[in-house]
Amino acid sequence: MTGTAQWQQQAREHLFQPFVDNAALQREGARVITRAEGACIWDSDGNRFLDAFAGLWCVNIGYGRPELAAVAARQMQELPYYNLFFKTVTPPVAELAAAIAELAPAHMNRVFFTNSGSEANDSVYRMVRLYWQLQEQPERQVIIARHNAYHGSTVAGASLGGMAPMHRQGGLPIPGIEHIQQPYWFDEGGDLSPEEFGLQAARALEERILAVGPEKVAAFIAEPIQGAGGVIIPPATYWPEIQRIVRKYNILLVVDEVICGFGRTGEWFGSDYYDLQPDLMPIAKGLSSGYAPIGGVIMADDFATVLAEKAGDFNHGFTYSGHPVSAAVALENLRILRAEGIVTRVREHAGPRFRQCLQQLADHPMVGEVRAVGLLGAVELVRNRETRERFPQVGQTGALCRDLALEEGLVLRATGDTLLFSPPLILNDQQMDEIIKTTKSALDRAWAQLN
């Protein structure tokens, strides 16, 4: 047995895979992806797919850039590994920290490195609590997050996240985390206008702060635009009100930039897009465009100063905090994003064009709403466009459309009955048109099957 059949068999017998039904997968067999270039991936049988999901929201500069492979090889030969524990640093890590500080909001100039977004959020959980201990307000330990948020799969990350199916497995969330309403107008806005609903959802934070006791609340954490939850773009009134509330109660603001960071919204960070003043920004994904695992927490100067001056030893870190190969790859990725004006192109061309293109799907009888910011987009599928009523078996229609699109060579994702798009930022106009054409065809075929 060789090739596809061999790899599928090996996976069937020896692999346990994330976020899938492993029993079902063993019956079906996994798709084997062997190669990628630009915005496209190929399977082991030579079939080409346009990847409208950039892997997992991460391959911002597109696949197959030889420059990243070259710096990885060079770094592996020169210094494949050293750590940051023993009062040491390596050149790519020092240079990457400086490059990130240059791109981050002006008041944020320090980075703690991790290997992933989940580890970044685990680090946030500890940093935030430590910060208030050091500020002699040790009772401030509660972190407020949102239902249907995604902050990762480690214990603290999944607890900060508000995904009920994750909480059900393994007894999460851990104590000290509260979840409030998400700003999801389409599903939860009822008869309110998006603006009214945005204010209401933001005020849920103030209500919870008052219910918990302001003196006990350490931080509020949120994605600028909820990604995995359904590319939920908050109404325009939401973030200004959140910013007002966290200031009023002197609560730390943690903006999870794991998806929005590094150009996805057409700005370097979602915090730039919404004009936010975070205390901490967890990052990952687009930092290396997924070519090597690396994440981190960008810290506001005031926050970092307290931890540096008052904590003594910071008793937290990973063997691969600031891995030199990942750091070299990330540095080259940032160089390319800047040198090629990729983020500017998303802001000025690709983002507005994508929003316009998605509008071509808005009249479809099954589509309740289309929305996009930068190269993040969503299409809501409904039974009744007027009332926004969902199909009875939520998730079935989304999965059907996703599978039909895949049959036609397009990778997109479905969360419930919401189709999600997050293509590489280097997507060209022709590829964008292909996304729309194939999605439309999948919608038409699904509609025909359902009627």
Count helices and strands (H / E) in the chain. 18, 15
| CA gap 227, 148 in Å, rounded | 10
- Cβ proximity to ligand PLP: between 163 and 361 the closer is 163
- Using the rule CB under 6 A, is 118 a contact of ligand PLP? yes
Helix (H) or strand (E) holding 355: helix 351-359
255 in contact with ligand PLP (CB under 6 A): no
Is 228 a residue that touches ligand PLP (CB under 6 A)?
Answer: yes
Residues 292-351 that bind ligand PLP (CB under 6 A): 295
Cα–Cα distance, 302 to 289 (Å, whole number): 29
Residue 152 interacts with ligand PLP (CB under 6 A): yes or no: yes
Residue type, 424: P
- Is 114 one of the binding residues for ligand PLP (CB under 6 A)? no
Closest contact distance (angstroms) between CB of 360 and ligand PLP is 27
| Minimum distance, C-beta of residue 433 to ligand PLP, in the bound complex (Å) | 27
Q: Is 299 helix (H, G, I), strand (E, B) or coil?
A: strand
Tell me how far, at minimum, the Cβ of 373 lies from ligand PLP, in Å: 15
Across the beta sheet with 48-51, the strand order is 33-37, 40-43, 48-51, 410-411
Nearer to ligand PLP, 260 or 367 (CB): 260
Q: Which is nearer to ligand PLP, 154 or 397 (CB)?
A: 154
Contact flag: residue 258 with ligand PLP (CB under 6 A): yes
Nearest distance, CB of residue 284 and ligand PLP, angstroms: 4
Least Cβ distance, residue 295 to ligand PLP (angstroms): 6
> Residue 311, SS3?
coil
Residue 410, H or E segment: strand 410-411
142 contacts ligand PLP (rule: CB under 6 A): no
Residue nearest to ligand PLP (CB): 117
Q: Which amino acid is at 437?
A: K
Rg (CA), the chain: 22
Is residue 422 a contact residue for ligand PLP (CB under 6 A)?
Answer: no
Are 375 and 392 a contacting pair, CB within 8 Å?
Answer: no
Q: Which of 207, 212, 239, 210 is nearest to 225 (CA)?
A: 239
Q: Does 117 bind ligand PLP (CB under 6 A)?
A: yes
Our CB check for ligand PLP shows the closer of 410 and 420 to be 420
Among 189, 227, 351, 368, binds ligand PLP (CB under 6 A): 227
Task: Name which position in 8, 60, 75, 116 contacts ligand PLP (CB under 6 A).
Answer: 116
Q: Which of 182, 255, 232 is nearest to 415 (CA)?
A: 232
Confirm or reject binding of residue 367 to ligand PLP (CB under 6 A). no
Among residues 113, 150, 273, 320, which is the contact residue for ligand PLP, using CB under 6 A? 150
Is residue 327 within 8 A of residue 113, CB to CB? The reply is yes
Pairing of strands 376-381, 418-421: antiparallel
Window of 150-158, 344-352, 378-386, 401-409 that interacts with ligand PLP by CB under 6 A: 150-158
Which residue is listed with tokens 């240079």? 95
Pick the closer one to ligand PLP by CB: 237 or 422: 422
CA dihedral 83, 85, 86, 90 (to 10 degrees): 40
Which residues fall within 8 angstroms of residue 320, CB to CB, at 6 or more apart?
Answer: 115, 293, 326
Does 284 engage in binding with ligand PLP (CB under 6 A)?
A: yes
259, 376, 427, 446: which one contacts ligand PLP (CB under 6 A)? 259
158 interacts with ligand PLP by CB under 6 A: no
Give 290 or 368: the residue with its C-beta nearer to ligand PLP: 290
CB 303 within 8 A of CB 252: yes
Name the residues that contact ligand PLP, by CB under 6 A.
Answer: 56, 116-118, 121, 150-152, 223, 227-228, 256, 258-259, 284, 295
